[in-house]
Amino acid sequence: MKSALALTALLLGAGATRPLQDDEAWTELAAIHDEAVSLWVTDIARARSDGLQQDEWPAHPATELWPDFVELAEAGDERALIWLLVNVEQSESQARTAELERILKLIRRAGHAEWVAEALPELVAMRAGLDEDALAQELEALEASDAPRELRVAALIGLAELQLETDPEIARNLRLEAARLWQNSALEPSKETGIDELSKAVSSELRRRSSRWFSAGFAPTPDDVYFATASVRPKPELLFRPMMVALAESGSARARLWFLENTYAQSEAERNQMRAHLSALAEIGLDAKSLASMRYQASSLAAQLGASFVEQELLKLIATVDEADRAGLLLGLGVALCESADDDAEARARGLALLTQVAERWPDSDEARSAAGKRFRFEHLTLGQIAPDFATEDVDGTPFRLSDYKGKVTVVDFWGFW
């Protein structure tokens, strides 16, 4: 099988005999890119299985294709410019700042084109090496202009990002202003109902765009491993997540829950934010739909924030809801305690007790059936425990029991189609 770079060189050589124009140029270059990246992903999987270190992996095809996308971008193709922006980290490290300056120049040339709203948040996120003061001035001018509304929203989000480290309060206000402008709404951030209404609109749009972003920008290799195609756009989260963060900080219960569902903390500051949001929700309570969501978040939250803290807050939350709505959250908390217990026998015992409680208090519920299965798993199917015996037949129809292999190294492979 040809390597990704060999295929790239072959295709580029084949296509160099005639000039390409407009969509034809993009279509052919995008096809070259996608075929090369598909093979590269396969090469990387093979390199990993062979135990090769990252510095021994083949180079990403973007390195070879960079000049061709530059040529298209400078000819005015915004798809090629977006590709440069999304793939700028694949450029030569010593030239990265120069490439960002090139991209910024081309974005400036595009003026108020609608696609610039996608590009700006990505550019600001990648801004290392750019003149931040000059960038801020351009964003301020754009926000004050008669540009399309979403482009002004992007300018506000960019300004907030530039302010985030030096003045978080200004950053939060800019993000709230962006959310109100996006919704074209006069909702006051001091009114909780208004904030929740705005949070619902922003989160719904983010969910819609994220689904569209993946389906339009990713494709599977022959081994069903998805990769970013040449058509992938900047992540919608770059524009919409900052709004949701600001709405959560302003007290929106919906946005607080969204933050807990959509954050995996990378720093202690983020963990503290998550703890504050969880504590606030535990005090005010949640509706039935949100409680169901929290049930499935319990294990992730325990892993990130500490099982004892999450246990304390979820028990407070459980105390605020009706008896009929408690089963799911108790089930989620029981699973979370068992999964995070490690060597903490007391935490594991508390988790098992919660699972037993669910099974006994709501015996005819789906939660009770799930709790029984979870309890069996944690008592019999975790590392270090003796596997439960069972009887079955081998491929030739000969009956056997698992216990027949006691004392021998045994691999049991369960599989099926679901």
Residue 108 corresponds to which tokens in the numbers above?
Answer: 């400036």
| Per-residue pLDDT at 190 | 56
- pLDDT tens digits, one per residue of 26-48: 999 999 999 999 999 999 888 88
Structure confidence by residue, pLDDT tens digits, 84-128 = 999 998 876 678 899 999 999 999 999 999 999 999 999 999 998
The reported pLDDT for the residue numbered 93 is: 64
Interval 56-78 mean pLDDT: 92
Say if residues 194 and 187 touch (Cβ distance below 8 Å).
yes
Band the pLDDT of 57: cuts 50, 70, 90. confident
Return the domain boundaries, the chain. 4-269, 270-390
d(CA 283, CA 316): 7
Question: What confidence score (pLDDT) does residue 235 get?
Answer: 96
3-state secondary structure the chain: CCCHHHHHHHHHHHHCCCCCCHHHHHHHHHHHHHHHHHHHHHHHHHHHHCCCCHHHCCCCHHHHHHHHHHHHHHCCCHHHHHHHHHCHHHCCHHHHHHHHHHHHHHHHHHCCCCCHHHHHHHHHHCCCCCCHHHHHHHHHHHHCCCCCHHHHHHHHHHHHHHHCCCCHHHHHHHHHHHHHHHHCCCCCCCCHHHHHHHHHHHHHHHHHHHHHHHHHHEEECCCCCEEECCCCCCCCHHHHHHHHHHHHHCCCHHHHHHHHHCCCCCCHHHHHHHHHHHHHHHHHCCCHHHHHHHHHHHHHHHHHHCHHHHHHHHHHHHHCCCHHHHHHHHHHHHHHHHHHCCCCHHHHHHHHHHHHHHHHHCCCCHHHHHHHHHHHHHHHCCCCCCCCCCEEECCCCCEEEHHHHCCCCCCCCCCCCC
- Token pair for 46: 């093979």
**Which of 245, 328, 338 has its CA nearest to residue 286?**
328
Angle between helices 366-380 and 326-340 (to 10 degrees): 10
Nearest-CA neighbor of 22 among 72, 94, 95, 83? 72
Number of Cβ atoms within 10 Å of the Cβ of 349: 13
Rounded to two decimals, the pTM is 0.83
Cα–Cα dist 86/159, whole Å = 20
Q: How many other C-beta atoms can be found within 10 angstroms of the C-beta atom of residue 205?
A: 16
For the cut 90, the answer to whether the pLDDT of residue 297 exceeds it is: yes
Predicted confidence band at 383 (pLDDT cuts at 50, 70, 90)? confident
pLDDT attached to residue 191? 54
82-94 per-position pLDDT tens digit: 999 999 988 766 7
- What pLDDT does residue 323 have? 87
Q: What is the pLDDT of residue 108?
A: 94
**Exposure of 188 in the CB half-sphere (CA atoms within 13 A):** 2
Convert the pLDDT of each residue in 206-235 to its tens digit: 999 999 999 999 999 998 899 999 999 999
Query: For the chain, what is the mean pLDDT?
Result: 89
Burial of 24 (0-12, 13-18, 19+ CB in 10 A): exposed
Spatial contact of 34 and 6, defined as CB atoms under 8 Å apart? no
Taking residues 385-395, report their average pLDDT: 86
Paired with 392 in beta bridges are 400
Q: Are 219 and 34 in contact, with CB atoms under 8 Å apart?
A: yes
State yes or no: pLDDT of 15 exceeds 70: no
Task: Please tell me the predicted confidence (pLDDT) of residue 328.
Answer: 93
